[in-house]
Each structure stands twice: as structure tokens, then as C-alpha cells.
Amino acid sequence: MIYIDIIILTLLAVTAVTVARIRDLWAAVMFTGIYSFLGASWMLLLDAPDVAFTEAAVGAGISTVLLLVTLALTSKTEKTSVSVPIVPLLVVIGTGAALIYGTLDMPHFGDPDAPVHTHPNPGFVERSQPDMHGLPNVVTAVLASYRGYDTLGETAVIFTAGIGVLLILRREKTSTEADDSTTEGTS
């Protein structure tokens, strides 16, 4: 079981370095898709299938397509910079060292006494079955019912983001596109 963890984390690191080093942007976009799939697999190993779902669908699916469409509008190769980036390197090393130092204070992986398992309220797990009349998915119960306000806010954020993209990118004349046919199957 530990081997698959090591394999996936190693592949994640290799993919990340590859994305940073590769100059062919088309290949880099493909590698970000691979990175997302590996991230989704890693989330699944951590027993977080909801997050894995989102990562696979958004990271590997939608954002890869959007990046590819963007490449079609711009250029497929990255300009090589001539200067040696010393200051960014120092910033990255400093930030990385601070982050690794920060992990020293964190509880061990899977520690039942970790704050995340004791602090918010384990009662959510215990109460959700009677509260929700037997809905088995505690994640959905917390997201949509106990924390309904937050999810409404998140939906409003997505709404706002969509409106923002529309306002910036949409062309003015959409005369030929008012093509009335069957409605889409969204709901």
C-alpha cells in the first residue's frame, strides 16, 4: 500500500518538474492534465473521492481544454529567456524551506488526535444519519445542509466568475447564433 503512495508522489514530482522545464506549451498542457489525473489518484488513496472527482473533471478535463483553446489563440512555444533567474530561485528555495519547516508542526498522517479529527465537531459524522434521515454521504450533508450558506456563496462565486468572463471575452455581435433548436439537457 505504501508503494503506490511513493510511486504516485514520485510521478507527481516528476510531472511538475517536466511542466516547468518543457518549452513546448502543447506538451506542457498535456502534462498538466497528467498531473491532475495523478492528483486525483492521490486524493482517492486518501479516501477523498469527492475531491478526486472534482480534480479529475476540472483539472484534467475542463482546464486542459481551456488551456488548449488558449494555445490555439496564442502560440505553441514558450519564449526562452536569456537571463538566469537568481532572485526567483532564492524566493522559491526560501518559500519551500519555510513550508517544509511548517510541516514539522503538523500531526502525523492519519493521527486520530489531529485537530482536523477532533476540533470542528465529530458530531457531524454522528448526527448526520438521523438528521438527514439516512443519507449516507456525510460530505454532501455538510456541504449542502449544515453549511448551506457557504455552498450558496460558492455558487455565487462561480456565477460571478462566469459573468466576468462573459463581460470580458464575449463579442458584441451574436446575430447568427440565435439558432433555436432543442434545449440542452443540463438539469
Partner 1 sequence: MNSFPIVRIVSKILIPYILLFGLYVQFHGDFGPGGGFQAGVILASALILYGLVFGIPAAKAVAPPWIVEKFIALGVLVYAGTGVATMLLGGNFLDYDVLEHHFLTEITVGGQTLHMLPSGQHLGIFLVEVGVGITVTAVMLMIFYCFAGRETSSE
Using CB under 8 A as the criterion, which residues of the chain lie in contact with partner 1 when the complex forms? 49-50, 52-54, 57-58, 61-62, 65-66, 69-70, 72-75, 131-133, 135-137, 139-141, 143-145, 148-149, 151-152, 154-156, 158-159, 161-163, 165-166, 169-171, 174, 177-187
> Rounded to the nearest whole angstrom, what is the least distance from the CB of residue 124 to partner 1 in the complex?
14
Spatial separation of the C-alpha atoms in residues 14 and 6, rounded to whole Å: 12
Spatial separation of the C-alpha atoms in residues 19 and 90, rounded to whole Å: 20
> Rounded to the nearest whole angstrom, what is the least distance from the CB of residue 149 to partner 1 in the complex?
7
In this structure, the chain runs to a length of 187
Could you give the dihedral angle defined by the CA atoms of residues 86, 88, 92 and 95, in that order, rounded to the nearest 10 degrees?
110
> Rounded to the nearest whole angstrom, what is the least distance from the CB of residue 62 to partner 1 in the complex?
6
Would you say 102 or 134 has its CB closer to partner 1? 134
Spatial separation of the C-alpha atoms in residues 41 and 178, rounded to whole Å: 42
